Amino acid sequence: MQAGLGRVVPLSILFLGSLAAAQDSQISALAKTVLSLREYVASNSGVRGGLPQLTVAKHQLRDWVESRLTSFPEKGDVGALTTDLLAGLEGANLFCDDPSDCVATSIGFLDQVLVNRERGFLTIATAVGTGIRCGYDYSAYLYEWRANRWQRIWEHEQNDYSAAAYHPQTLHAIHISDAAADGTRLILTLGTPAGCGGTFVPVRYQVWRLAPDPTGAASSPIAVSPILDQSETLNDEGEPPAIGRLTADDVLIEFSAAGTGYGLTRKALRHFEIHGASAIQTDPIAPTPRDFVEEWLAASWSDSAPRSDSPVLREWHAKLHRDDGQGDFPDPALACANDPSLVEIATRFAEQPKHYFLVRTRQPLHFTMAAIGDSPFPNCTQPAPAADQQPSVLPANQ
């Protein structure tokens, strides 16, 4: 093929030119949708939650991102890809540059695109604005290098905008595990509710199982099965507010919990063993004896009974059980000279008198309640600073 003064135009340049034109068309269509939403909200100030048109914007944004993946190599630089994606969106003026324009509602704006590589896969999170105060609705996508290109094999979007079903999240992590012996993998997402939720907000952790394509065809879909979907209150101490780790059959999550009212912040651990389609919670539930006391008291007796040395502790549990996070620990933890596996934790809840808890360490991160009393236990007099510390069990970059 020839053009101009007889110059031969390489097919690769023609392809890149047509690809760029297609990408420009996609970003123009996305901008048109997003700006129309902005205009709609400007004339309908009562909009709350989400609108069905958000799904159009989500898919246009996803498709535009995927158009950029067509030229992204298997071992490409995800940092450079992220910069490229953000530059393309900034050029279309789709971000909220003036916070006063998007505090009451973020509809008509986009948030950052998050790209990561994990175990050879690409995880990408995109976000469109919602009618929730300063809130964005994040969607998650997973890509695998198949047939010499990146192919989407999993997605997680919230496209039901009814009041009862719509729970948009800010996603803080998307993880995928190594493959199990049968080729299956686990996916974990960690999210908090979209919007300005304050210090104490729910953390939602969801787990899916990816089954390999039984036909082996590169273009075939991969079966996905939901396994776990739970939430509980965390103390949002920064980014990320929760961290997680996955293996082929195991999930471990760490976050700061409680801290309301009279309470001090504590570290909580959530560990699940995955058996088929079931997620079974097991130890550990806390990193230190001090954190374990609050976890033991906050849980139901059916959960705390296996973590108790004696069934007589049920009466104490019924008397002191509370799940409002209100309590403080005025005294340092004390080691017990007669048994190095025991440590005494003293606590006072609100206006109540002190109570004393003997916590047994059976192995690292595994504790049981040995005894509870109204007065200090004999032989427990030596400071045990390790029981008061809150080390991170998981690396911060999980």
Examine the pLDDT at 1 and tell me if it is beyond 60: no
Query: What pLDDT does 119 receive?
Result: 95
Could you tell me where the beta strands, DSSP code E, fall in the chain? 2-3, 7-8, 114-118, 121-129, 136-146, 149-156, 169-176, 185-193, 200-210, 224-235, 242-247, 250-258, 265-275, 278-282, 334-336, 342-348, 354-363, 366-373, 380-383
Mean pLDDT of the region 361-380: 94
All structural domains of the chain with their residue ranges: 12-160, 179-282, 306-387
pLDDT tens digits, 266-295: 889 999 999 988 999 999 999 999 889 988
Examine the pLDDT at 257 and tell me if it is beyond 90: no
- Summary mean pLDDT of the chain: 86
pLDDT tens digits, 109-152: 999 999 999 999 999 999 999 988 889 999 999 999 998 999 99
Mean pLDDT of the region 7-16: 40
Q: Of residues 252 and 213, which shows the higher confidence score?
A: 252
- For 212, the token pair is 């390999």
Q: How confident is the model at residue 350 (pLDDT cuts 50, 70, 90)?
A: low
Distance CA 114, CA 239 (A): 14
Query: What pLDDT does 375 receive?
Result: 95
Query: What pLDDT does 221 receive?
Result: 56
Give the CA radius of gyration of the chain.
26
pLDDT tens digits, 374-386: 999 999 999 998 8
Mean pLDDT of the region 32-54: 84
Query: What pLDDT does 209 receive?
Result: 94
Q: How confident is the model at residue 263 (pLDDT cuts 50, 70, 90)?
A: low
Q: Which of these, 315, 48, 10, lies nearest to 163 by C-alpha position?
A: 48
